[in-house]
Structure formats: structure tokens, C-alpha cells
Structure 1
Amino acid sequence: MSAAIASPAINTFGLEQAQADRSKLNKLGNAKDDPRKTAQEFEAFFLSQMFEVMSAGVKTDGPMGGGQAEGKWRSFLNDEYGKTMSKGRGIGIANMVYDQMIKMQEAQP
């Protein structure tokens, strides 16, 4: 087990965040959505989760840093980072997911 996974900051991320993540995933793939939009939302979700893990070990100090509220607001910031990156060129996950979605739809009778 790596030090990053065992760190207390990530372990306190906990059940509350996992439930929120499940809720976000359930909203993805809505039948009314365009497949390309759904793929882009999946990439945004993936990127926001990566930013959560990356920022979990970052400690903030000083007159404006720290506290419980910062953890909540950082989560919102990470979500926006993911959305912004996926709306641009992204990292290619949306294109791969979209291609697979189309292949699966074509394979259905």
C-alpha cells in the first residue's frame, strides 16, 4: 500500500464522498442525454476524482487557509477543474468512451 493511499487525509474522505460520487455517477448516462455529452460528463467526473486525490494531501496554512469549510469548497473547485478540462480538449477519455458507447449500441439487435 502506498503512502498516498494510507494517508489520513484520503481516509477521512470517507463514506460521505463515496455516496456523493455514486449519486453523480447515477446522473450520468441519462437516456435523454446525447452520447457525446454523457462521455464528456464521465471524463469530467473522472478528472474531478483525480483532482480530489491529488489535493487530499495538500495542507493549507496561514491566515486564509485550512478549516473544514475549505475541504468542502475544494471539492467544488475540483469539480469545476474537471468540467473545464473536459470541455476543452480533455485528456481523451471522452472520445474513447464515446467510441465504445457507439460500438455497443451498434452491436445491439
Structure 2
Amino acid sequence: MEISSMMPITSSTMDTYEASKAKELTKSFNEVLKDTTQKVQAQGQRQEELRDACRDFEAYFLYTMFKEMDKTVMKSDLIPEGQAETMFQDMMYNEISKEASQGMGTGLGKMMYEQLSRTYNQFDK
């Protein structure tokens, strides 16, 4: 093997090599950063979906509670109840339960969210 035919290592060759390595590392860093950002955004979206589901469950629970409470009220035969009145009461209980579950609500949705997010985060790891 003849050494004279080999390309001599010069400072410009080393600079080119180091520049290509730096470019490769920057590219891989940017890819990792992009992947991490996407994962964080997806996790934030999942957390928001979980919060919405807990809030919806709280609203459904309150709706069911209002319906059962209404059954305990004594009905009078003086004014007969019609189909429209029953439908209106259902819609009213539905809206009241949605409003009651917004903001602070009863705290049921918040407790569920905290518990489920802890459990959910254990499975993400």
C-alpha cells in the first residue's frame, strides 16, 4: 500500500468533516425537538379531552340526580302533565346540569380529572 496516493489530512478537510458532523447533530437535535414538541402538544390535547370528558360525566350525573329528585315530588291531578311538559323538563334539567358542571361545578369532575390524569400519566411513561 502506497501512502503517497492517500489524501493528506489538512485543516480544511478536518473543518469540512467537523462542519458535516455539526450539521448532522443540529439536524438530529431539531428532529428530536420537533418530536418532543409534538408529543407535548398531543399530551396537552389528551389532557383537555380528559377534562372535557370528566366535565361531561359530572353534567350527566347531575342530570340523573335532578331527574330522580323530580320523581320524589308529589304530582297533582289538578293540572295533568303532558308530553310537551315532560320534554321541557328534560331539556331544562339537561341545561341546568350543563351549567352547574361548568366553572367550579360540584367538584366531582375536578376530582375525577385529577385521579384519572394521575393514572393516565402512569401509563404514558
| 2:81 aligned residue | 66
65-74 vs 79-88, greater mean Cα deviation = 65-74
How far apart, in 1, do the equivalents of 2:101 and 2:77 lie? 31
The unaligned stretches of length 5 or more in structure 1 are 1-30
- Give the counterpart of 1:92 among 98, 104, 107: 107
Larger radius of gyration: 2
User: What is the CA distance between 1:72 and its match in structure 2?
Assistant: 1.9
| 2:49 aligned residue | 34
- Give the counterpart of 1:56 among 46, 62, 71: 71
1:42-70 CA-partner distances (Å, limit 9, x unpaired) = 1111111100101123325666x621221
Alpha-carbon distance change, 106 to 88 in structure 1, aligned in 2, over 3 angstroms = closer
Query: Percent identity over the alignment?
Result: 32
How far apart, in 2, do the equivalents of 1:78 and 1:61 lie? 22
1:6-33 CA-partner distances (Å, limit 9, x unpaired) = xxxxxxxxxxxxxxxxxxxxxxxxx7x6
CA RMSD of aligned residues (A): 2.4
TM-score norm. by structure 1 comes to: 0.60
User: What is the CA distance between 1:94 and its match in structure 2?
Assistant: 0.8
TM-score norm. by structure 2 comes to: 0.53
Aligned length: 78
The unaligned stretches of length 5 or more in structure 2 are 1-45
